[in-house]
Amino acid sequence: MFAVYFFFGIFAYFFYFIFAPLQPLFKWPGLLGGAALTLYWLAITAHSVSHTIKATSFVNHAFIDEGSHLAYEFQAALTQFEKRHKERLPFPKIYYWFVFGIAPFYLVLGRLLSASFGTNGVLLVLAILGMPMSLWVAGVMVRIYLVMIRLPCQLEKKSGKPVLVVD
């Protein structure tokens, strides 16, 4: 999972803005904007997952008290979580269609009209298209951490019983 995030988020987006021969006017807003957007998306995802855990009956369905321990049925828990969680998209769908629509034309126009973006047009398109993918993967990693690691640790601390993963 981290390798997918590295390819789309770190490699495609941040490496482009770090190493492409861009003017500082384009480089710094791209880097800072990407970092701010990633941090914002991680916070939104963490809030959304925490809300699903607290506001729904997910914990009651996913963790079964068996006296000496809490049983965590992993596959059933993920199914229960997906039923209750409303996953948001990083960007409204209109932005996706806009980017997909102009991307082929941008490669040609970029070479004709601009010296800064022309030679790196393919990498720029990969960076732009890779950002939503990297945000989605980062959100999945946050969700995995909160549901599979943090929540069982919190329940173990709260109940004093170990949490065991069962089939």
pTM of the predicted structure, to 2 decimals: 0.74
User: Using H for helix, E for strand and C for coil, what is the string for the chain?
Assistant: CHHHHHHHHHHHHHHHHHHCCCCHHHHHHHHHHHHHHHHHHHHHHHHHHHHHHHHCCHHHHHEEECCCCEEEEHHHHHHHHHHHCCCCCCCCHHHHHHHHHHHHHHHHHHHHHCCCCCCCHHHHHHHHHHHHHHHHHHHHHHHHHHHHHHHHHHHHHHHCCCEEEEC
Top-confidence residue, 115 or 129? 129
pLDDT band at 115 (very low <50, low <70, confident <90, very high): low
State how far the Cα of 111 lies from the Cα of 43, in Å rounded to an integer.
38
Which tokens belong to 140? 């999945």
Top-confidence residue, 120 or 112? 120
Top-confidence residue, 65 or 94? 65
Q: 131 burial class (0-12, 13-18, 19+ CB within 10 angstroms)? A: buried
Top-confidence residue, 31 or 3? 31
150 and 54 in contact (C-beta within 8 Å)?
no
Is pLDDT at 116 greater than 70 in this prediction? no
